Amino acid sequence: MINTMQADGVLERYAIGGAVGATFYLEPVATLDVDVFVEFHTEPGSQIASPEPIFKFLHDRGCPMENEHVVIAGWPVRFLPAGSPLLQEALAAAVEKDVDGTPARVFTAEHIAAVALETGRAKDKARVLQFIEADALDLERLQEILSRHGLGGDWQQFERQFLKQR
Amino acid sequence: MKLDRTRVLERKRAFRRQLAALPIAEKLRMLDALRVRTLAIRRASISGATKKAVDQEAPPDR
């Protein structure tokens, strides 16, 4: 459905992040919804990007709304704007994965970890630890991303808190 | 029976590696099952005694 929206020009590009994105690299990470980061299509003559065409497209195809989610194939999907330089980079660097013959764009493991570190809640830090324990990160690449986006201090704090006694 | 904590942890790590190596479609089906169970537990928890705690929990996963 989301690939169709992209092909129809409803959205510029998209990528799956969050817990479902992490599941592409780790063991299944329990979650209640799917986070899809998108670059919204800008209307001609307008500077404001609106998510309205996405909701209209999905509503017209019978996808119900549940609070801030749209339910697609039984899953609540949350469309989030790639509103920070880190998210924009993550979107541009996203990789295509095959899901039972359907292509899906997914954030790289390093970008998922960087976004989690930036978000900074306990469960986000737990996710970064999962990536490290699973040896699923290119740590050099992660460091580059973190320093590009001013997250070096957050990483040092994370290291002090969780990695020093390992 | 003697509990060997190191072996238990190693078996857990091995199981997680096994799960991580599954095809993504299978992992997504597992996620779906996990979500259904989580919702069932959450619904069961929303009784008079626990409602306040549930209301105060963190926003959905990102």
B61 vs chain A: nearest CA distance in angstroms? 6
- Yes or no, beta carbons of A32 and B38 under 8 Å apart: yes
What is the pLDDT at residue A164? 79
Decide if the complex's ipTM is over 0.90.
no
Using an 8 Å Cβ cutoff, are A66 and A38 in contact?
no
Tell me which residues of chain A have a pLDDT lower than 70: 41-49, 165-166
pLDDT band at B10 (very low <50, low <70, confident <90, very high): very high
Is B60 a residue whose pLDDT tops 90?
no
Q: End-to-end CA distance of chain A, in Å?
A: 44
pLDDT at A51: 82
Task: Report the residue from A32, A97, A136 with minimal CB separation from B61.
Answer: A32
Torsions phi, psi of A31, nearest 5?
Answer: -155, 165
Q: Could you read off the pLDDT of B16-31 as tens digits, one per residue?
A: 999 999 999 999 999 9
Q: In the prediction, which pLDDT does B57 show?
A: 55
Please tell me which residue of chain A has the smallest CA distance to B33. A30
